């Protein structure tokens, strides 16, 4: 599924239109293989949930493939599997996301199927209970994994469990157990609307023809614009907490603080700085120092997540329980060093080359192209974003890297969340003082 002629998608090769109902469609033709891909999002996510209904958006997304007006569960699976296609749906904070991959000759049939499950789900009662049990088991397993527990404690400490960015997308045992069929139906009826939705298509299609097909399947869909609730929160000071999980032989650590939202002017500086800190090569400085040189971690990396309204910048590590404090100190040292010392010209250039070089590789597949087009539209980046992107990354200076690290990764402002065996007496004292 190579990208057509190796050229990056550009304004002249992307067909973009917004239907009268508010649904935006982007199409990029690529005739090098007989495959077509759709990636899409609707503005229905966990941000619309009440705290007592945590997991509702994810429950609705999971039910869409379990019965609709023209496809029961068996018919849906047969329609997808018999032609070797794939169709997935999942909820996120601000969106419900879906994807279709199929041979070009079957793509219209899969669009029929997609339109039916998005617009006309039936929420069969027996499948609600089956999916509920699957979700409850998954949540139970999540609570037994030190990495997921540390990550959840970190998010809850930053934002609060009742905040969309702090709550678990899949919900909790008590909230998922209480969700009723009517709540799923109401959520779908209220928030599944074409207004503000995006469909991005790449592959062996004729752009004008596939647009007509989309119009036929989705054009008569109506719905008001979805309210996007404010997600502001009180910023919390640095803190330390530990989740004791008896019987575990590994501890996991998540350390970080508030980052930047996607539209923040510092986004690209943070992206480059994070690559240096914990991504480039063998996971950047964290992989080199904490894991390789000091031998304090089984893994160690960093991530900068930029959401629509806020972001987080954090490091994660899996360690021997005896090395928890030493690993935390080492990670915080790297945070401080990035903010107090200028990175070398070579280190900066290497990370910039990586961040710009990975884009053409990602765009070698139709999935990568469709996902990128969706991202460009969702965040209002413009159809020429891929042409501007190298300059945005290469324009970041060593001073920018030092500035954003000093601003966002202040050790005294960090949340430190750990999960694993019970702490020793000395470690308990440190956690308590934190």
Task: Work out the average pLDDT over 355-360.
Answer: 96
Tokens describing residue 337: 């060093």
Strand order in the sheet with 251-258: 239-244, 415-420, 251-258, 311-319, 299-306
Whole-number pLDDT of residue 423: 81
For residue 38, what is the enclosing H or E element?
strand 35-42
- Chain centroid, CA 87 distance in Å: 18
CB distance 142 to 148 below 8 Å: yes
The encoded tokens of residue 335 equal: 């945070």
**pLDDT tens-digit profile of 9-42?**
999 999 999 999 999 999 999 999 999 999 999 9
Which H or E element spans position 239? Answer: strand 239-244
Give pLDDT tens digits for 255-300. Answer: 999 999 999 999 999 999 999 999 998 899 999 999 999 999 999 9
Which tens digits make up the pLDDT trace of 145-180?
Answer: 999 999 999 999 999 999 999 999 999 999 999 999
pTM: 0.93
């Amino acid at each position: 599924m190579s990208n057509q002629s190796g050229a990056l998608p550009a304004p002249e090769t992307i067909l973009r239109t917004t239907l009268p109902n508010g649904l935006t469609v982007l199409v990029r033709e690529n005739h090098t293989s007989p495959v077509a891909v759709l990636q899409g999002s609707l503005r229905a996510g966990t941000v619309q949930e009440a705290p007592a209904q945590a997991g509702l958006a994810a429950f609705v997304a999971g039910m869409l493939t379990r019965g609709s007006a023209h496809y029961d569960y068996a018919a849906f699976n047969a329609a997808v599997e018999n032609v070797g296609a794939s169709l997935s749906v999942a909820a996120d904070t601000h969106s419900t996301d879906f994807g279709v991959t199929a041979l070009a000759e079957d793509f219209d049939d899969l669009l029929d199927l997609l339109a039916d499950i998005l617009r006309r789900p039936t929420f069969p009662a027996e499948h609600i209970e089956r999916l509920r049990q699957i979700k409850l088991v998954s949540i139970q397993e999540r609570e037994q994994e030190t990495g997921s527990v540390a990550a959840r404690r970190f998010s809850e400490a930053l934002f609060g469990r009742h905040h969309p960015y702090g709550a678990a997308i899949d919900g909790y045992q008590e909230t998922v157990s209480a969700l009723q069929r009517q709540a799923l139906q109401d959520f779908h009826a209220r928030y599944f609307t074409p207004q503000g939705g995006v469909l991005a298509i790449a592959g062996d299609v004729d752009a004008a023809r596939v647009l007509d097909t989309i119009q036929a399947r989705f054009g008569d869909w109506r719905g008001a614009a979805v309210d996007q609730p404010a997600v502001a929160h009180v910023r919390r000071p640095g803190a330390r907490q530990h989740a004791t999980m008896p019987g575990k032989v590994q501890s996991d650590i998540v350390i970080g603080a508030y980052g930047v939202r996607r539209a923040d002017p510092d986004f690209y500086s943070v992206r480059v700085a994070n690559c240096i800190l914990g991504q480039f090569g063998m996971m950047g400085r964290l992989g080199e120092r904490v894991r390789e040189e000091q031998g304090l971690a089984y893994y160690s990396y960093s991530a900068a997540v930029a959401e629509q309204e806020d972001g987080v910048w954090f490091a994660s590590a899996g360690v021997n329980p005896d090395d928890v404090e030493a690993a935390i100190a080492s990670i915080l040292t790297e945070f401080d060093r990035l903010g107090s010392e200028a990175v070398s010209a070579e280190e900066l250039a290497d990370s910039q080359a990586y961040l710009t070089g990975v884009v053409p590789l990602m765009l070698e597949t139709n999935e990568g192209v469709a996902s990128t087009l969706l991202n460009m539209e969702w965040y209002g980046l413009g159809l020429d974003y891929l042409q501007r992107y190298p300059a945005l990354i290469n324009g970041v200076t060593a001073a920018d890297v030092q500035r954003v690290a000093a601003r966002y990764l202040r050790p005294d402002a960090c949340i430190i969340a750990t999960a694993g065996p019970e702490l020793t007496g000395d470690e308990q004292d440190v956690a308590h003082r934190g």
